[in-house]
């Protein structure tokens, strides 16, 4: 495998499948199987998952809920998704630890960097819940931060699209996929990959990002093998 330690960022919306809300157990099971394939090959995997299928703090703020309160509610939504993914992973035999940026002692460990690295060294898959534990920061930022902290080699952003395109492929049929793109070009063209805070963290720490379609069977393994899947954003 090309990479030994990676951070996988999943969107909460992806867990909805074809539903309009909540968690589709079929999608959850498929993700667990994909992750198990690479874990069985010796790759150390850490995961950050969003909460947009359950709750979005920014949208709540627009509807009159205090922004900080809404962000904490969003963090709890990510924990619900993280617990569901942990259960799915353990059902397929993947030893998993859930670590949270806020204390919820009955269901998960608090995030401690050294402990997280030790879990990875013991071939335990980690799920980081509750974002960074701070309001005003997205789960994209949490993914970049945790990846840097645990010394991951790459951030893998699993989405519904198979990479970064010249335009929105769902709106523009002439859009073409980049196999590789430099970070400065992403800035210049205003391509929407991650929020600016997350992206800047990766740039400053020279941490590459690969955007790929997590819903296509076998793609996760192919990315880790170094195959031409998705788009590599070089720093």
Phi and psi torsions of 213, nearest 5° = -85, 105
Question: Buried (b) or exposed (e) across 36-73, using 16+ Cβ within 10 A?
Answer: bbbbeeebbbbbbbbbbbbbbbeebeeeeeeeeebbbb
Answer yes or no: are the C-beta atoms of 136 and 145 closer than 8 Å: no
Residue-wise pLDDT tens digits, 32-82: 999 999 999 999 999 999 998 998 766 766 778 888 999 999 999 999 999
Q: For position 60, what pLDDT does the model report?
A: 64
Q: 89 or 171, which is more confident?
A: 89
pTM of the model: 0.92
Q: For position 61, what pLDDT does the model report?
A: 62
Residue-wise pLDDT tens digits, 171-211: 888 888 899 999 888 888 888 788 889 999 999 999 999 99
* Residue 65, helix vs strand vs coil: coil
DSSP character string of 191-222: --SS-HHHHHHHHHTT--EEEEETTSTTHHHH
Domains defined for the chain, CATH in brackets: 5-234 (3.40.1160.10)
Mean pLDDT of the chain: 92
pLDDT over 70 for what percent of the chain?
A: 97
């Amino acid at each position: 495998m090309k990479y030994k330690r990676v951070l996988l960022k999943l969107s909460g919306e992806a867990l909805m499948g074809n539903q309009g809300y909540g968690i589709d157990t079929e999608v959850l099971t498929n993700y667990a199987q994909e992750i198990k394939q690479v874990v069985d090959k010796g790759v150390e995997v850490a995961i950050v998952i969003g909460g947009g299928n359950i709750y979005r703090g920014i949208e709540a703020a627009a509807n009159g809920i205090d922004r900080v309160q809404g962000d904490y509610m969003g963090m709890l939504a990510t924990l619900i998704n993280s617990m569901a993914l942990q259960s799915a992973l353990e059902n397929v035999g993947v030893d998993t630890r859930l670590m949270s940026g806020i204390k919820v002692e009955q269901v998960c460990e608090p995030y401690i960097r050294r402990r997280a690295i030790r879990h990875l060294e013991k071939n335990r898959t980690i799920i980081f819940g509750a974002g960074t534990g701070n309001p005003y920061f997205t789960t994209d930022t949490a993914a970049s931060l945790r990846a840097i902290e645990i010394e991951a080699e790459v951030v893998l952003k699993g989405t519904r699209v198979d990479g970064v395109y010249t335009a929105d492929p769902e709106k523009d049929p002439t859009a073409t996929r980049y196999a590789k793109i430099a970070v400065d070009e992403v800035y210049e063209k205003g391509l929407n990959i991650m929020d600016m805070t997350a992206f800047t963290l990766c740039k400053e720490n020279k941490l590459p990002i690969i955007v790929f379609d997590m819903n296509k069977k076998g793609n996760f393994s192919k990315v880790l093998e170094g195959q031409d899947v998705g788009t590599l954003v070089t720093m």
